[in-house]
């Protein structure tokens, strides 16, 4: 880029050069051009991909959309039949050619410029000729203008058919920069202006050491970024660059657009960015993902965390524990106010300590350089086995198979604590409520935790404490107002029956947890079920022959321990090998067979391909252990009306399986300000528009409305 006067002078010069090229085009013989199509047969309403391929002789190069200090970008002038429309050109990642103070952005060897072309629904069957006039500048030491005409034939029929060039088109798409929208990138001025120049700081997060890092600006008529890039010292996991901005119209830009380029030694990638100089990153005109939510106030996020924790009380994950708390309140109605308040505080303390433990996990994971997510402990197979055993013991205790009295030495750490009305029971109720709440994401909570995970350790602890306060609030408030407990039924025989009845939802929770075991252990998870049978027998023998029949207590102890030990050694250790998971391979194709929706595996490349084809995209980030996700799927996504609408608009459906916490999805969730699943996105067919982020709890109407907006 140059000044205004220089730009006008050079523009006139290149007009003259290209006029000469019409007469002396034979001089430019160092670049070959051809037209590729992803399909040789298309159906009306389909979007295909066209690729203009430039092949340059060794030592010669052509230019990117921003050629830099000299050169000219390749220009494509389409001549398309009626009913066909070309979208914006998708440029592959260029190279930077610094020559003293002249920096240019170029292509060596080969460059494939990809253009989505939409076939209108009204186009009749038959053969069509697509053609374009392509002009470029090719340079070695000297520069020569080049021009050529390219064409290809496309057949319109009732069935689409890929062309032999489709693999080359797909390979070219992988070289197109991805979107950096929703990333941590930001820009800020690094001091006052001096004459017509001003220093600018650009920074973003990285996952490891980088051999190359740079920023390539988009062309602009109002400013230019100098070619040299200075890498500035930054905190671990961050890249910080300094570049000089020169104003061309005596005003300073409010945003900078271009490519963040990085190379980790194995692969070189570019990310499209639009950086507001107030620090926010947004989507560029070629973005494939959404801009993130604007920066939020800490106080607002604390309020979100509190209300999110409050709403967790009515989520299906926590309902079994709520039933136990109701039972506990009925029992406490006879106690004095001081004891009731003490138990309420102990319950709240159990919730708070558990949330602090979760916050500590998040801080530790981040400190180790990994991505953290809400519910991440459910990706740990050993945690899942232990929790299944604990919840099963709680259910067996509620059924009355065994009781725990003060002084017992076995099974008192888990199985019955939740059903006791004393101090230990109150505290453990808080712990269990928190643990069972983590597979669910309540409204407000996802945004608050997504904000927290990107902050310092102190902010993480504050946000988690606010969520804990919300979860514990109803019970702490009730305990401090004992008069309200008088509205509850009087204690009586019904309480024992109610206690047994509450064993069934707790048992259902244990069955649900058990159903997650195949994710980690495959067919070997059957042995966990066998161990649970041994566990149930051991609990029954202990209750029947130790607690209720003292004459046979010794034999009862021996039989109970023998059942428990043999079940553990045979089922869990020998057959299941529970401390070493062997997860099966995920297969999204199997999901499509079950649901009727043709799910494909999510990846940034899959989103980019679909958007390049100008097709709407539905992305469902989900996990098998996420109850909210499963409810959304059954109620709002995999329903006849939504399936029909997806088919009618020719939408691409992508499934992001977060069950085993893949880091790529964790990063994508964080980009959209979410700490965990569910996250459902609807990308409009117009690739310039950002995706629609749906709320955590969905209805069929919400999904259909988003799909309708995506095709407007």
Low-confidence winner among 221-225, 312-316, 464-468, 536-540 (lowest mean pLDDT):
312-316
549/543 Cα distance (integer angstroms): 9
pLDDT band at 497 (very low <50, low <70, confident <90, very high): confident
Whether 186-282 and 4-172 are alike in CATH topology: the answer is: yes
- The answer on pLDDT for 681 being more than 90 is yes
Please give the DSSP secondary-structure letter assigned to residue 124: P
Task: Give the full edge-to-edge strand order of the sheet including 679-683.
Answer: 600-601, 652-657, 617-622, 679-683, 692-693
- CATH class of this structure's domain 4-172: mainly beta
Mean pLDDT for 1-14 is 44
Low-confidence winner among 206-220, 448-462, 568-582 (lowest mean pLDDT):
448-462
319/501 Cα distance (integer angstroms): 13
- The answer on pLDDT for 600 being more than 60 is yes
Tokens for 173? 């798409």
> DSSP string of 216-240?
EEPP-SSEEE-S--EEEP--TTEEE
- The answer on pLDDT for 573 being more than 50 is yes
Low-confidence winner among 162-166, 456-460, 465-469 (lowest mean pLDDT):
456-460
- The answer on pLDDT for 678 being more than 60 is yes
Pick 48 or 416 by higher pLDDT. 48
Residues with Cβ within 8 Å of residue 43, at least 6 apart in sequence = 119, 156, 157, 158, 159, 160
> Looking at the whole model, is its pTM more than 0.85?
no
The share of the chain scoring above pLDDT 70, in percent, equals 77
Q: Is 684 helix (H, G, I), strand (E, B) or coil?
A: coil
At 65 the pLDDT is 94
Degrees to nearest 5, angle at CA 323 with 317 and 325: 105
Contact 122, 103 (CB under 8 A): no
119/84 Cα distance (integer angstroms): 5
Mean pLDDT for 549-566 is 84
What CATH number was assigned to the domain covering residues 588-710? 3.40.30.10
String of b and e for 431-457 (b: at least 16 CB within 10 Å)?
Answer: bbbbbbbbbbbbebbbbbbbbbbbeee
- The answer on pLDDT for 336 being more than 60 is yes
Burial of 294 (0-12, 13-18, 19+ CB in 10 A): exposed
Q: The dihedral of CA 478, 481, 482, 486: what is its sign?
A: negative
- The answer on pLDDT for 283 being more than 70 is no
Q: The dihedral of CA 210, 211, 217, 223: what is its sign?
A: positive
Contact 673, 290 (CB under 8 A): no
- The answer on pLDDT for 217 being more than 90 is yes
Mean pLDDT for 323-332 is 56
Pick 432 or 87 by higher pLDDT. 87
pLDDT band at 668 (very low <50, low <70, confident <90, very high): confident
Pick 411 or 300 by higher pLDDT. 300
Domain ranges of the chain: 4-172, 186-282, 298-390+400-505, 516-584, 588-710
Q: Is 8 helix (H, G, I), strand (E, B) or coil?
A: helix
149/145 Cα distance (integer angstroms): 14
What CATH number was assigned to the domain covering residues 186-282? 2.60.40
Alpha carbon distance, N-terminus to C-terminus of the chain: 37
The share of the chain scoring above pLDDT 90, in percent, equals 27
String of b and e for 129-147 (b: at least 16 CB within 10 Å)?
Answer: ebebebbbbbbeeebbbbb
Q: The dihedral of CA 149, 155, 156, 161: what is its sign?
A: negative
Each residue of 50-61: pLDDT tens digit?
A: 999 999 999 999
- Max mean pLDDT range (40-54, 261-275, 335-349, 456-470): 40-54
Closest CA to 600 of 583, 624, 620: 620
Each residue of 608-625: pLDDT tens digit?
A: 888 888 899 999 999 887
- The answer on pLDDT for 100 being more than 60 is yes
426/437 Cα distance (integer angstroms): 17
- The answer on pLDDT for 67 being more than 50 is yes
- The answer on pLDDT for 379 being more than 90 is no
pLDDT band at 603 (very low <50, low <70, confident <90, very high): confident
Angle between helix axes 423-437 and 337-367 (nearest 10 degrees) is 40
- The answer on pLDDT for 281 being more than 50 is no
- Max mean pLDDT range (170-179, 405-414, 439-448): 170-179
SS (H, E, C) 239-277: EEEEEEEEECCCCCCCEEEEEEEEECCCCEEEEEEEEEC
At 365 the pLDDT is 64
Q: Say how many C-beta atoms besides its own lie within 10 A of residue 469's C-beta.
A: 19
Contact 72, 12 (CB under 8 A): no
Pick 379 or 671 by higher pLDDT. 671
């Amino acid at each position: 880029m140059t000044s205004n006067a220089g730009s006008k002078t050079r523009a006139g010069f290149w007009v003259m050069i290209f006029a000469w090229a019409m007469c002396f085009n034979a001089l430019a013989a160092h670049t070959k051009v051809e037209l590729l199509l992803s399909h040789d047969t298309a159906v009306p309403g389909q979007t295909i991909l066209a690729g203009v391929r430039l092949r340059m002789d060794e030592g010669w190069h052509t230019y990117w959309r921003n050629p830099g200090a000299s050169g000219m970008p390749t220009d494509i002038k389409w001549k398309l039949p009626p009913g066909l429309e070309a979208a914006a050109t998708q440029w592959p990642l260029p190279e930077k050619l610094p020559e003293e103070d002249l920096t240019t952005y170029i292509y060596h060897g080969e460059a494939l410029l990809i253009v989505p072309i939409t076939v209108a629904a009204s186009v009749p069957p038959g053969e069509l000729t697509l053609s374009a006039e392509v002009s470029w500048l090719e340079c070695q030491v000297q520069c020569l203008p080049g021009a050529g005409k390219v064409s290809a034939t496309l057949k319109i029929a009732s069935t689409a058919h890929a062309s032999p060039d489709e693999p080359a088109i797909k390979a070219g798409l992988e070289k197109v920069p991805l979107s950096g929208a929703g990333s941590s990138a930001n820009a800020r001025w690094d001091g006052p202006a001096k004459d017509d120049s001003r220093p600018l700081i650009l920074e973003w997060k990285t996952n490891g050491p980088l051999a190359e890092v740079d920023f390539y600006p988009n062309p602009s008529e109002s400013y230019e970024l100098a070619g040299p890039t200075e890498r500035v010292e930054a905190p671990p996991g961050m890249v910080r660059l300094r570049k000089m901005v020169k104003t061309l119209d005596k005003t300073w830009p409010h945003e900078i657009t271009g490519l963040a380029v990085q190379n980790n030694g194995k692969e070189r990638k570019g990310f499209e960015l639009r950086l507001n100089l107030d620090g926010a990153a947004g989507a560029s005109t070629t973005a494939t993902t959404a801009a993130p939510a604007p920066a939020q106030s800490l106080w607002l996020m604390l309020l979100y965390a509190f209300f999110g924790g409050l709403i967790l009380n009515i989520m299906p994950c926590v309902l079994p524990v709520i039933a136990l708390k109701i039972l506990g309140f009925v029992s406490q109605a006879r106690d004095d106010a001081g004891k009731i308040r003490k138990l309420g505080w102990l319950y709240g303390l159990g919730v708070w300590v558990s949330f602090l433990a979760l916050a500590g996990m998040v801080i530790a994971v981040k400190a180790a350089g990994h991505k953290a997510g809400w519910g991440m402990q459910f990706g740990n197979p050993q945690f899942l086995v232990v929790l299944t055993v604990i919840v099963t013991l709680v259910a067996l205790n509620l059924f009355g198979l065994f009781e725990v009295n003060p002084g017992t030495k076995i099974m008192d750490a888990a199985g019955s604590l939740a059903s006791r009305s004393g101090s230990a029971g109150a505290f453990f109720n808080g712990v269990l409520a928190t643990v069972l709440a983590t597979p669910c994401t309540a409204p407000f909570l996802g945004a608050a935790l997504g904000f927290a995970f990107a902050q310092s350790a102190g902010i993480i602890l504050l946000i988690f404490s606010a969520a804990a306060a919300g979860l514990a609030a109803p019970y702490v408030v009730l305990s401090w107002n004992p008069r309200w407990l008088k509205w509850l039924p009087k204690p009586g025989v019904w309480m024992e029956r109610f206690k047994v009845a509450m064993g069934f939802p707790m048992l259902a929770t244990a069955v649900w947890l058990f159903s997650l075991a195949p994710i980690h252990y495959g067919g070997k998870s059957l042995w966990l079920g066998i161990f649970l049978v041994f566990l149930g027998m051991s609990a029954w023998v202990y209750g029947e022959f130790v607690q209720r029949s003292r004459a046979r207590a010794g034999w009862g102890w021996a039989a109970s321990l023998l059942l428990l030990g043999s079940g553990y050694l045979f089922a869990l250790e020998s057959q299941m090998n529970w401390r070493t998971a062997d997860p099966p391979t995920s297969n999204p194709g199997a999901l499509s067979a079950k649901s009727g929706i043709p799910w494909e595996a999510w990846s940034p490349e899959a989103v980019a391909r679909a958007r390049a084809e100008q097709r709407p995209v539905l992305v469902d980030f989900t996990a098998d252990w996420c109850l909210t996700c499963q409810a959304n799927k059954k109620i709002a996504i995999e329903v006849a009306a939504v399936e029909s609408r997806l088919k009618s608009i020719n939408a691409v459906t992508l499934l992001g399986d977060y069950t085993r916490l893949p880091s790529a999805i964790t990063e994508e969730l964080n980009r959209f300000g979410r700490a965990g699943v569910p996250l459902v996105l609807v990308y409009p067919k117009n690739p310039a528009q950002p995706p629609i982020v749906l709320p955590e709890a969905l209805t069929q109407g919400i999904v259909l409305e988003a799909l309708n907006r995506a095709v407007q």
